[in-house]
């Protein structure tokens, strides 16, 4: 069920960053680039994309300033995404800038892990606290097919390096695609049960315009049923308003399920997405995002930026409609530009 507007609620000029449904936003995802060295089938078209011109991408100084403004309104969690964030030159410098921002208590990154082995120590030293690594299968051929050329050995080496650098927990994000990797469920569980410091999360495939917009998800309930055939699943109480519904298996591994299609979590959504070009996307499914970059470069002060952000967040939609059967609404855009 989607939330309903709160009668009489007016847009606040100060305090928490809330929308008209009363949802307070404390989590900001920042896409630092739309570029990626992989071409995952669920993330971008097979023909690839025309990357954003460098002049249209936010500078690190612009990103850091916007993060400070968001933090002044109660945003405490920041996640760097892409594209692939480790492709952006000087990414360690940006990590340091954001880690020093007053009010930011949790700084994480989502990466494909390909270049992580060489960067994990520097990222940890700069102030990164946690990592999510995208890994949809352990099978080298299947991995290469899903990523259109990726190297699973490089990703596994990156995970090992992150664990050694203390970036724990390392959460493994596995997008489950019907007919492609849904048979790898138990192999993934068995592997990461033997890697202390990791957690595993299964994510329902999301129908974006850029991946054809087809429903190819495997319901989270079905994945739990399959796991229960071999393991005892003990639910873990949800904390922090995140979308993952976690269980602990009898082998000790924490497994989460992110199910935007069959068990959508729009009613408790607390996140915003700052895209690489400065567009603020208040809902994952919508691409009609006004641009904060233009305000920045037009000379807006922090008060003007705050007012613009508050106005946009207050107008946030109740949620997406990709869970509706029949004429469901496809998520607009392509994942590599949204930042997940």
Summarize pLDDT for 277-288 with one digit per residue, the tens.
999 999 876 666
For tokens 């519904």, the residue is 245
Report whether 59 contacts 91 (CB < 8 A): no
Cα 119 to chain center, whole Å? Answer: 20
Strand segments (E) across 177-214? 198-204
The CA radius of gyration of the chain, in Å to the nearest whole number, is: 19
Q: Please give the structure tokens belonging to residue 291.
A: 């641009």
Domains in the chain, CATH or no CATH each: 27-338 (3.20.20.70)
Summarize pLDDT for 25-36 with one digit per residue, the tens.
999 999 999 999
Q: What is the distance between the alpha carbons of residues 58 and 166, in angstroms, rounded to a whole number?
A: 29
Report whether 37 contacts 84 (CB < 8 A): yes
Q: Does the pLDDT value for residue 183 go beyond 70?
A: yes
Q: Is the pTM of this model over 0.85?
A: yes
Summarize pLDDT for 221-234 with one digit per residue, the tens.
999 999 999 999 99
Summarize pLDDT for 31-69 with one digit per residue, the tens.
999 999 999 888 887 777 789 999 999 999 999 999 999
Report whether 133 contacts 155 (CB < 8 A): yes
End-to-end CA distance of the chain: 22
């Amino acid at each position: 069920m989607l939330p309903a507007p709160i009668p009489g609620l007016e847009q606040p000029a100060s305090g928490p960053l809330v929308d008209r449904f009363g949802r307070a936003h404390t989590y900001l995802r920042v896409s630092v680039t739309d570029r990626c060295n992989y071409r995952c089938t669920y993330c971008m078209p097979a023909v690839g994309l025309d990357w954003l011109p460098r002049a249209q991408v936010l500078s690190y100084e612009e990103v850091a300033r916007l993060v400070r403004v968001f933090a002044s309104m109660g945003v405490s969690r920041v996640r760097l995404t892409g594209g692939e964030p480790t492709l952006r030159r000087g990414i360690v410098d940006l990590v340091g800038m954001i880690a020093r921002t007053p009010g930011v208590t949790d700084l994480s990154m989502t990466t494909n892990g390909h270049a992580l082995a060489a960067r994990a120590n520097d990222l940890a030293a700069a102030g990164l606290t946690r990592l999510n690594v995208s890994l949809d299968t352990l099978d080298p051929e299947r991995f290469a097919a899903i990523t259109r050329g990726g190297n699973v050995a490089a990703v596994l080496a990156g995970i090992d390096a992150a664990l050694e650098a203390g970036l724990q927990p390392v959460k493994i994000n596995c997008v489950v695609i019907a007919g492609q990797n849904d048979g790898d469920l138990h192999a993934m569980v068995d592997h990461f049960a033997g890697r202390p410091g990791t957690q595993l999360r299964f994510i329902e495939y999301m129908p974006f315009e850029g991946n054809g917009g087809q429903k190819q998800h495997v319901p989270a309930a079905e994945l739990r049923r399959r796991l229960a055939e071999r393991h005892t699943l003990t639910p873990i109480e949800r904390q922090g308003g995140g979308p993952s519904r976690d269980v602990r298996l009898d082998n000790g591994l924490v497994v989460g399920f992110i199910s935007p299609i069959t068990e959508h979590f729009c009613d408790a959504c607390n996140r915003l997405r700052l895209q690489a070009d400065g567009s603020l996307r208040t809902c994952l499914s919508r691409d009609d995002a006004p641009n904060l970059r233009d305000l920045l470069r037009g000379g807006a002060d922090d008060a003007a930026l705050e007012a613009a952000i508050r106005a946009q967040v207050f107008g946030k939609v109740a949620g997406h409609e990709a869970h509706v059967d029949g004429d469901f609404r496809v998520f607009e855009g392509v994942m590599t530009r949204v930042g997940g």
